[in-house]
Every structure is written in structure tokens, then in C-alpha cells.
Amino acid sequence: MSSQPRYLLIMSCSQRKRSDPGLLPAIERYDGPAFRVLRRFLRENPEDTSQLDIFILSAMYGLIPAEHPITEYDQMMTRQRAAELHDEVLPAFANLICTGYNDLCLALSKTYLYALEGWSALVSPAISVTITDGSQGVKLRQLKHWLWQGKMDNPRQERRAVRPNRS
């Protein structure tokens, strides 16, 4: 296993999408505020990208890598859709999380978290977990803080790891 820390970010897809025809990488197709924050981080910190894996939980496609090519679509995540995706998404998450991450950020709304219900039982206590929560502005600040954590004045150990009691 590499001595470099590894980070996993899982984000909700966004309603706002670029309307370019054909296929685009998911990270480029989705154009909501969180994706703009993420793309800015990636532009400003290209040296950190090798340690960061980004996956998107999509109402249409399930759990996909950020580079996965997708078309423009309009499908909303509902509790029913999250339940439909659960049996596909949770095993994919299980396969992903066991590959040696030090830090996990779930930038997901409560509805998206339903698709991952049971995730916390799959995460080792050694993995620092951050779940964005609150208003959109608060969630964006939390995401920005998590992404830039190594670049900020606040040391990493001052971050609060959030682990829910229920799975």
C-alpha cells in the first residue's frame, strides 16, 4: 500500500448540466455549484489529483467515476429512485472503500444518502469521514474545506469527523 494518503469524494449529481450534445465526462457535464468548487480545486491543485478519487452518485447512472462519459439527461433523485439504485450502489461502494482510503467525504443530500444506506458499516474506523450537511452555502463551505484541507491554515486534525449512529 502506498504511503501517500488517499482521499475519496462522493458527490451528488446536479440538476444543472451543460447542454453540449453527445458525451461529456460527468465532472464536466454536471455544472452545479459544488462541481464548480471541485473543478476550481482541481485546476488550482493539479499535484493533489493523484491522491483524490472522485465518484458521482447519479440519479440516472448510479455510482460512477467522475471521468465516466454521460449524456445530458433529466432525472431527479427521489426516495423511490434511491431505493431502486441501492442494490447496485452499495456493493459498488463496498468494492471502492476497501481499496485503502484514509479520508472519505460524502457530499450528498439526505435523499442521495438513501441510495447508500448501510454505508457506514462498510467503512473502517481508521477512515476519517466527513458528511456535508446544512444549507447549500454551508455544504459548499464544508466541501471547500475538505478539498483544501492540506492547503489551509487549519491543520487536518482540527477537522471534525462525522460518523452517523445509524447505517
The one-digit pLDDT tens for each residue of the chain (167 residues) are: 457 899 999 999 999 999 999 999 999 999 999 999 999 999 999 887 889 999 999 999 999 999 999 999 999 999 999 999 999 999 999 999 999 999 999 999 999 999 999 999 999 999 999 999 999 999 999 999 999 985 433 333 333 444 444 34
Say what the pLDDT of residue 155 is: 36
Prediction pTM value: 0.87
* CATH code for the structural domain at 7-158: 3.40.50
Strand, coil or helix: 144: helix
Say what the pLDDT of residue 48 is: 79
The residue among 51, 62, 41 whose CA lies nearest residue 8 is 51
d(CA 18, CA 31): 6
Say what the pLDDT of residue 3 is: 72
